[in-house]
Amino acid sequence: MVKEFILLGFPGIQKFKVPVFLIIGVIYILILSGNVLIIFFVWKDYRLHTPMYWLLGNLSFSGLCFTTVIIPQMMFNIITERKVISFMGCMVQRFFYFFLGTADYILVAIMAFDRYVAICNPLRYSVIMSGWFTFQLVAGSWTGAFFLVLSSSIFLYLIPFCGPNVINHFFCDIISVLRLACKDPTTLEWLSYASIALVVLSSLLLTSLSYIYIIATILHIPSSAGRQKAFSTCGAHITLAVTFYGCSIFMYLLPEKIHSSGFYRGVALLHTVGTPLLNPFIYTLRNEKMQEVFKDALKRMDILAPK
């Protein structure tokens, strides 16, 4: 029985492992600091105690954990030549990667719905997106993601691995791991594809419909300045959604022959670090209230003290 796996990662970067290690390290620090700041401000500042920012805080927490599941192990494998992960470590990494990723999809869809209600039905926003309803949505996203991923994780744990132990990836991706199983994993493959398709496509559908209605509403704004401001914010969110869903569709819903390509691993890396890295910038640099909270915090620290 296999007791450990070897993660091939990116075989062609060994000559540049130090620069790559440093670049990924800087990206990871940016992800940590940006998302921790969002979580801290949402928790501490009463001006951000609204459904939109509570959802953003949960998305930041999920993104923070999502990258932490993958990047430290990947950095260790890059800088050392020991690319081994234990069997149990691989199972745990795979579970949390898909659990947190699934929660991300649901949260992004809920945030799109929140913006739809705020822009298309503003008079009923406080009634529809009440604190209790938002709590139910968030709790449901975490609980639903947990049990959806738990079922396939149990089946994967019970499959015997007795032969090759080399994973052609930089983390324990389920598709790469299943190829090493001793018995036919077709049933689990179909179960995994079905659950991924259900989560990704349903989340994509809800997000797309929300933004279609938002854009239609924005087009009816009489003021050109108001339209431009709304499109500026909406465009940033759409860019994030396109990156998020585009990577996922490429990784799991396209033909299997691409799964062993280096480009596939590159897209997987973009998916791992892209959204958590973009979240703080898109939801803070383009958000006046978040900017105000951040500036006030800097003033309290005498960094931006008024002259």
In this structure, are residues 7 and 78 in contact, taking their beta carbons and an 8 Å threshold? no
Write down the pLDDT at residue 26. 94
Confidence of residue 195 (pLDDT cuts 50, 70, 90): confident
pLDDT of 136 above 90: yes
In angstroms, rounded to a whole number, what is the distance separating the alpha carbons of residues 272 and 290?
A: 25
User: What are the two backbone dihedrals, phi and then psi, of residue 234, each rounded to the nearest 5 degrees?
Assistant: -65, -40
pLDDT of 224 above 60: yes
Sheet holding 4-7, edge to edge: 84-86, 4-7, 166-167
In angstroms, rounded to a whole number, what is the distance separating the alpha carbons of residues 262 and 11?
A: 9
pLDDT of 17 above 60: yes
Q: What is the pLDDT of residues 21-46, one digit of tens each?
A: 999 999 999 999 989 989 998 998 88
**What mean pLDDT is predicted for residues 98-104?**
92
% of the chain at pLDDT higher than 70: 91
**From residue 152, how far is each of 94, 149, 188 by CA, in Å?**
10, 6, 7
* Token pair recorded at residue 39: 């979580």
% of the chain at pLDDT higher than 90: 27
Write down the pLDDT at residue 217. 87
Rg, Å, the chain Cα set: 21
CB neighbour list of residue 307: distance below 8 Å, 6 or more residues apart: none
Rounding to the nearest 10 degrees, give the CA dihedral for residues 289, 236, 136, 154. Answer: -140
CB neighbour list of residue 127: distance below 8 Å, 6 or more residues apart: none
Packing angle of the helix pair 224-252, 186-219 (nearest 10 deg):
170
* Token pair recorded at residue 102: 């699934």
Write down the pLDDT at residue 62. 92
- Alpha helix segments (H runs only) across 80-184: 87-120, 125-128, 131-158, 174-178
pLDDT of 260 above 60: no
In this structure, are residues 200 and 245 in contact, taking their beta carbons and an 8 Å threshold? yes
Averaged pLDDT of the chain: 84
User: Any idea which fold 4-304 has?
Assistant: Rhopdopsin 7-helix transmembrane proteins (1.20.1070)
Confidence of residue 258 (pLDDT cuts 50, 70, 90): low
Confidence of residue 72 (pLDDT cuts 50, 70, 90): very high
**What mean pLDDT is predicted for residues 204-225?**
86
Burial class (CB in 10 A: 0-12, 13-18, 19+), 132: exposed
Burial class (CB in 10 A: 0-12, 13-18, 19+), 267: buried
pLDDT of 67 above 90: yes
pLDDT of 137 above 90: yes
In this structure, are residues 210 and 113 in contact, taking their beta carbons and an 8 Å threshold? yes
Print burial letters for 236-263: b (CB count within 10 Å at least 16), e (below 16): bbbebbeebbebbbbbbeeeeeebeeee
Write down the pLDDT at residue 142. 96
In angstroms, rounded to a whole number, what is the distance separating the alpha carbons of residues 41 and 48?
A: 7
